[in-house]
Structure 1
Amino acid sequence: MKTFSSSSSVSRRFEREKDNRELELRRRKCCRSTIINNDHNHHHSIIKSYHCNCHHHHHHNVNKSQLLLTIIIIIEILNGVWATRTNLSPRFKSDNNDFDTQSEIIVRVKEGASSLNKEIYHLYGEDPDNDPLTFGVLGTLGKDLLRIESLSNNEAKVYLKKELDREIQDSYTLVLTLTDGKLGKGNYITKSLLLIVEDINDNAPIFRPFRTAILVKENAKPGTLIETFEAFDSDEGRFGQVFYQLDDEIHDTNSLGSNMFSIQTVDGMCKGILRLSGQLDYERKSLYQLRILAIDRAMEDSRKTSTAAIVIQVEDVDDQPPIFTSIPSITRISEDTPIGGHVLQVTAIDGDKGVNNPITYRIIKGGNGL
């Protein structure tokens, strides 16, 4: 006789088959993925977490080896994410808090002691990571010229610590540096600094060689060129431009030299032309001592002047007749004076003091019998 199972037995058998099918599906289930979004760096890292749930009949059993492997993979991926996290570079900023887009900073300083230890520029910087910033300058020359003093995490003042001379060097190209300490050793954000040395009137004109003693004939005509002077001023602009003046004659109480000579400045050539402006007379004055002034064109209260001394000797020419120095107005002659006898003696000198030509005498009228 066949025995049929009850409806409750059939139902339990169907339930067990359903559980077995679900268990098989869970074993074949793929591992899920978790996406970690790093908002700060805008980079995405995908972390795969292998997770399988295994059911054995009516209880859950976790595979410990697989769980350990999953944890190790997650830790390694997280370490890689933080290790490769990008550090954002700092940037120079301008004084109005805008990003500094100029390729070069240009700073002008006066030469001499007036700029020494004075602030010549103010530096600003910004770091997106809010890291403290360090400003500096590259090279031995830069460190010799500049001192950088930090004010805060993103500001610094630049001071000039060496006196500059424009006549030696009129400009310097330096390199400023900026770092947040995370760029690596020896790595910096750089900015070029052009230091222009401006001129001050610190040099007097210097005369080039000239004749200190000149001989001029007394019959030279007014306008005759006596000498050309040239003075060089190493300053630039109006500080380096030179004009000339004729100073009063040295030890000349009559001041004849100022009227007898003149000097003209030749613009663009830094030259002064000394000319004769009057008529010389050896018999009146035979020697002139002149003083030539070379003056730069700075403001009148800050002009620099140099002096050149020159001696002009007048050369005598034969332009004066002899002068009798001894001659009687009336001479008496005895009637018995023999022929060839002494009647009269006269003396004369040359009117030209410097020439002294030989003097000859003759009777030009009323010389019958003499």
Structure 2
Amino acid sequence: YIPVIISSQKENMIQISSNTNTINLDPGSKKIKYILSGDGAGTIFQINDITGDIHAIKRLDREEKAEYTLTAQAVDWETNKPLEPPSEFIIKVQDINDNAPEFLNGPYHATVPEMSILGTSVTNVTATDADDPVYGNSAKLVYSILEGQPYFSIEPETAIIKTALPNMDREAKEEYLVVIQAKDMGGHSGGLSGTTTLTVTLSDVNDNPPKFAQSLYHFSVPEDVVLGTAIGRVKANDQDIGENAQSSYDIIDGDGTALFEITSDAQAQDGIIRLRKPLDFETKKSYTLKVEAANIHIDPRFSSRGPFKDTATVKIVVEDADEPPVFSSPTYLLEVHENAALNSVIGQVTARDPDVTASPIRFSIDRHTDLERQFNINADDGKITVWHNITIIATEIRNHSQISRVPVAIKVLDVNDNAPEFASEYEAFLCENGKPGQVIQTVSAMDKDDPKNGHYFLYSLLPEMANNPNFTIKKNEDNSLSILAKHNGFNRQKQEVYLLPIVISDSGNPPLSSTSTLTIRVCGCSSDGVVQSCNVEAYVLPIGLSMGALIAILACIILLLVIVVLFVTLRRHKNEPLIIKDDEDVRENIIRYDDEGGGEEDTEAFDIATLQNPDGINGFLPRKDIKPDLQFMPRLQKRVARRSITGCCMKKKTVENSDFNEQRPALQKEKRGY
């Protein structure tokens, strides 16, 4: 057998007239039967087993399956044994125009700027056709606009949509509906078609200037309105939208440019007029402003149409309000002398009612600023009488709620009522070996008064001491005074202390003066002028000793004290038997010794108190018949009063107490020691 290919069968046809055209290569009397296998055999295609004709038993669709591969074979009718090898053939389904074009992504939306030129591209839409594009014109599409003319046009083959009218205005019409058709068979009659819709929106451009809703605005405002308060709003309408409609507002002219300002409200797209300075009905009752609204974002393509701005007139009428009194000055500074008499007038404040009615004013003091009530004010004329910083209240008589306050600073002027005096208690020290002209002390003065030009003091000695032989004074540039010695050779044994009265006068009007006395002590000094001692009891440490030197001196003093205490203790233990603790024994015992009597000298030279306290005062009792080398010795307080001794003038003195006779040598030795 030779394989036979059956092709070009049309889809959607039931009967297919075709046979296998078999050739019997082995003729005989055998009966032949034809069988069919492969794609769709028995379900889509059926073979006549006697004649070999193949029939389609179902409607074919090329879009589902374009071709089928089948196998035909001749077999023995009785035994079903193959008589020949199988033959394979292909059945191709021929296309017919049975599918209309479809817009798979529709409906469509597009945007194009308003005022676009003719032929501006809007968008591109495409349709699909399931028919075979290479066989015939079943899938050849042609596009057209069914609705949307004359505003838009479409390219028939590319489906590019363009504007068909120039300068379409969004403000006139913003949205357009376009119906687009796609037809197969190249657009010829009998072809299938499909449609879709396209919504075209015109986007806004700034092609319109702002325009005020009215050319004249009227507003009223009370004269006592708070600064920053919104007085009124003006609005310039713009047909554009978004940022193209944004406008800025300005006051470009008028007699109230300094008192008012205008700001833009970005949300409401209007201008807010606010007060920037106080108003006064009595001064000016109305104002006229010229305001301007201008677009912020300008499109240069439309700038030739003219300025994108507009102007309007605003008239503002000021209404009268009941205002509080107004002081003639925002603050007052008054001066008063500190010795001003009670109820003396120190100044005056004035105020007026700015209203047309001109209500009378009453004055009072804000007592929160004058808790001690040191001042008073005349309620009618505002005259202030004594004293500091206070606040004055002015109240309208007709309306007590209208109150004004003004600060009044009262400066107390100084009066020269205090005499100058030494700044501190001074005490000068003069060295015995000092030189003539040496500065003994520098003193300064103080004055409780506070003159405007500062203090200036005059110093002098008392008239009766103007020719003081010992000291002189010298005024220094820093308003202080130096005391100088006129000579040397001062002797503290001759005169230890000098008193120098100094007269101090101020420069007030009238000037006041006082006399202060400077105490000058004569002291012993080292060769370099360092004061060492001014008397026996006083010792002045050299100036400028370091802390280490002071500690060393203190340690030495403590060591000396320890040695003295040890010495006194040991001596007391040594002489302990001689101590008579019984007062009666002292009175009854008689001391006898063989020394020649010295009369008064002898009695003065010996103190019976030694018998009761051999140690004396700290182990030391000076003899009164010998003048000490130092002019001033430490004063030793006598602990035991002297007692009279019987027979002080006798040359022979006996001691009846036998125990005392035994101690006579020791007593004589003790006596000679004193």
Q: What is the correspondence of 1:1-370 to structure 2 with a 5 Å cutoff? A: 103-112=3-12, 115-116=13-14, 118-125=15-22, 127=24, 128-139=27-38, 141-149=40-48, 155-181=51-77, 185-209=81-105, 212-236=108-132, 237=135, 238-248=137-147, 257-266=148-157, 271-279=158-166, 280-297=168-185, 300-323=188-211, 325-327=213-215, 349-352=237-240, 355-358=244-247, 360=249, 361-362=291-292
Question: CA separation of 1:298/1:213 partners in 2, compared to 1, >3 Å: closer, same or farther?
Answer: closer
Aligned to 1:11: none
> What TM-score, normalized to structure 2?
0.31
Question: CA separation of 1:120/1:299 partners in 2, compared to 1, >3 Å: closer, same or farther?
Answer: farther
2:192 maps to a residue whose letter is K
Q: Distance in 2 between matches of 1:203 and 1:226?
A: 29
- Partner-residue secondary structure (3-state), 1:142: coil
Question: CA separation of 1:104/1:307 partners in 2, compared to 1, >3 Å: closer, same or farther?
Answer: same
Deviation for aligned residue 1:305: 2.1
> What TM-score, normalized to structure 1?
0.54
2:115 maps to a residue whose letter is N
Deviation for aligned residue 1:282: 1.0
Question: CA separation of 1:183/1:125 partners in 2, compared to 1, >3 Å: closer, same or farther?
Answer: farther
Deviation for aligned residue 1:298: 6.2
Deviation for aligned residue 1:233: 1.2
Q: Distance in 2 between matches of 1:289 and 1:184?
A: 71
Among all aligned residue pairs of Structure 1 and Structure 2, give the percentage whose two residues are the same amino acid. 25
Q: Report if aligned partners of 2:75, 2:82 keep a CA contact under 8 Å in 1.
A: no
Q: Report if aligned partners of 2:210, 2:238 keep a CA contact under 8 Å in 1.
A: yes
Q: Distance in 2 between matches of 1:220 and 1:141?
A: 60
Q: Distance in 2 between matches of 1:351 and 1:184?
A: 91
Q: Report if aligned partners of 1:200, 1:235 keep a CA contact under 8 Å in 2.
A: yes
Q: Distance in 2 between matches of 1:347 and 1:140?
A: 81
Question: CA separation of 1:205/1:193 partners in 2, compared to 1, >3 Å: closer, same or farther?
Answer: same
Q: Distance in 1 between matches of 2:95 and 2:103?
A: 21
The alignment of Structure 1 onto Structure 2 pairs a total of residues equal to: 234
Question: CA separation of 1:188/1:181 partners in 2, compared to 1, >3 Å: closer, same or farther?
Answer: farther
Deviation for aligned residue 1:204: 2.2
Q: Distance in 1 between matches of 2:138 and 2:11?
A: 13
* 1:221-275 CA distance string (max 9 Å, x none): 2222211222221211311122211121xxxxxxxx3112111134xxxx42111
Aligned to 2:259: none
Question: CA separation of 1:194/1:233 partners in 2, compared to 1, >3 Å: closer, same or farther?
Answer: same
Aligned to 1:79: none
Unaligned runs of 5+ in 1: 1-90, 92-100, 249-256, 329-344
Does 1 or 2 have the higher relative contact order (CA < 8 Å, sep 6+)? 1
- Partner-residue secondary structure (3-state), 2:8: strand
Deviation for aligned residue 1:198: 0.9
Unaligned runs of 5+ in 2: 217-232, 250-290, 293-308, 314-674
* 1:43-76 CA distance string (max 9 Å, x none): xxxxxxxxxxxxxxxxxxxxxxxxxxxxxxxxxx
- Partner-residue secondary structure (3-state), 2:171: coil
Q: Report if aligned partners of 2:146, 2:181 keep a CA contact under 8 Å in 1.
A: yes
